[in-house]
Every structure is written in structure tokens, then in C-alpha cells.
Amino acid sequence: MWHYIIPPLIGAVIGYCTNYIAVKMLFRPRNEIKVLGHTLPFTPGAIPKNKPRLAKAIGEVVETTFFGEETISAQFLSGEAEDNAVAQMVRGMDRPISDLGISVLGSEEKYEKGLDRLSEILSQQLLQSLRSGETIRMVSDTVIDKLVNQFRGGMLGMFITDSFVESAKQMVEAGIQGEIEDKGEEFLNRMVRSQMDTWSRDTLSEIAFEAGYSDERVERILRKAYRGAVKSAVPALIDRINVSGMIEEKVNDMSNEQLEELVLSVMKRELNLIVNLGALIGLILGCLNLLF
């Protein structure tokens, strides 16, 4: 009777112990063991020994699988996420431009400084344009030509010669140039800032309505802008975050004990199955040994 029981039982024990030791050797010993200055084979265990390579592989797999450009973009462009973003943008259009500016810049003081700087830039550009000879010439030509056309039909028309017209234009040009140099910068700064203050009190919805944009068209424009922003921002976001490098660093910083706990928390059931499978295979081989 024992002749038939012992061989399969011994085979099962050997198979179980062999696989149990093999599984333990994945993690143990956790550090190198040296004898007479020589490192013993199979120390440390396979996982501690290859932790840097494992960390790099985990980081690359996680980034490629879960944090790829298409995956992240799909999350932002999913129906619900996109609809919520567009709805938020539409609600933002009902706020005064000044409120939006303060929200973006963080304080009213920064917003006012930004508005002053923008007014200054626009004023300087307008002033530069007005100072150009072509602009002044165009204004003087328009003014004088209009006056000449009014007087040509009357008695004064006989005194209006080409030389008189040219002289008048030159006088107007000189007058305009002088006014621009004396008062142009101050006037433009005041005018531009006043206009920007007026616009700041308006909402984007009001401006869009005055420009003839319907609500549906505004929503389409915002949706298109959102999609474009996502497609351009996601690649830069992924590069900046560097998911693979972050995960690789975290895994390398883990102790061998923590790494073992991490692997076992995920694969403990499968590793136990391998150990039990060793016992089953040993049992089957022991039974086959009885037949041959």
C-alpha cells in the first residue's frame, strides 16, 4: 500500500519545495552575500538585483500604456469632459473682461498694471503710425481736397491754384506734426486707456453679440478652440511631467522590502499558484513513475 502512496507524495513535496524556493529566490536574499571577497551566485535575488532595469521597464510601460498622447487627449476630448469645459467657457463669457483678467493674473493690482502696459504699447504704436509722413500727408490731402472742392464753385475758386493747394497742404502737415509732437502721446494714452476701461466693463458675450455672432456660433468657436488647445498642450504636458522618469525614480528609491511587498500585493495569488502547480506536477510525475 505504502509502495503506491510514497512516490507520488515525495514527488508532490519535491515539486512544492522546488517551486517555493524558486519563488523565494526572486526576492531573497535581499542583499549580496560575500564569502572571502567573492559574491555568492544568485545573490541578491533576481528582483533586487535587477531593480534599476525593472524600474525603467515599469516606467516605460506605464507611460506608454496609460499616459500616451492619444490616451490623455482622449480623456480631455471625451464627450462629458469636452462639454463641461465648453460650458465653463461659455459661463466665463458672461463675466466682465476685467473680472476675467483679475482671475487670470491673480490680483486687481496686476490687472491694472497689465492694462497700463498694454495701453502704453498700443499708444506708442498709434503714435508711431501717426508720425509717419504717409499718414500725415494722407490726412492733410483729405482735409485740403475737401475744402478745395467746396470753394471751387464760388468766387474764391479763381484764387485757388495748384501752388496754393500745395502750400496749404504743407502748412496743414506742419501743423499736424507739431500737434502730434506736443500733445499726441498724452492724448493717445488718455484715449486708449479710456477705451480699454470701457471694454473692460463689457462681457465677451456682449462683444460677440454686437459683432453678430449667435450663441451657436460662439459655442462652435469655443469647442474648436478647446480641441486645438488640448492637442497642442497635451504633448508639452507629457514632456514636462516625464511620467516614466518619475516612476523609475520612485521604484529605485524603494527599499528591497517595499519592492517585495509591492510585487506580492499584485502577484501573490499567481505566485502561490505556481508553488501549488509544482506540487501537482510532482504528484503526477510520482504517479507516472509507478507505471514505468
DSSP codes, 37-58 = TEEPTT-S-HHHHTHHHHHHHH
Q: Domain of residue 279: give its range.
A: 2-67+255-291
pLDDT band of 152, cuts 50, 70, 90: low
Note whether 174 and 116 are same-domain residues.
yes
Overall average pLDDT of the 3-26 stretch: 84
93 domain residue, yes or no: no
Distance CA 160, CA 149 (A): 10
pLDDT computed for residue 160 by the predictor = 60
Residue 203 β-bridge partners: 96
244 domain residue, yes or no: no
87 domain residue, yes or no: no
Note whether 58 and 111 are same-domain residues.
no
- pTM score: 0.53
Between CA 76 and CA 83, with CA 78 as vertex, the angle to 5 degrees is: 90
Note whether 196 and 135 are same-domain residues.
yes
Tens of pLDDT, residues 159-187: 566 666 677 767 766 776 666 667 767 77
Total number of domains constituting the chain: 2
210 domain residue, yes or no: no
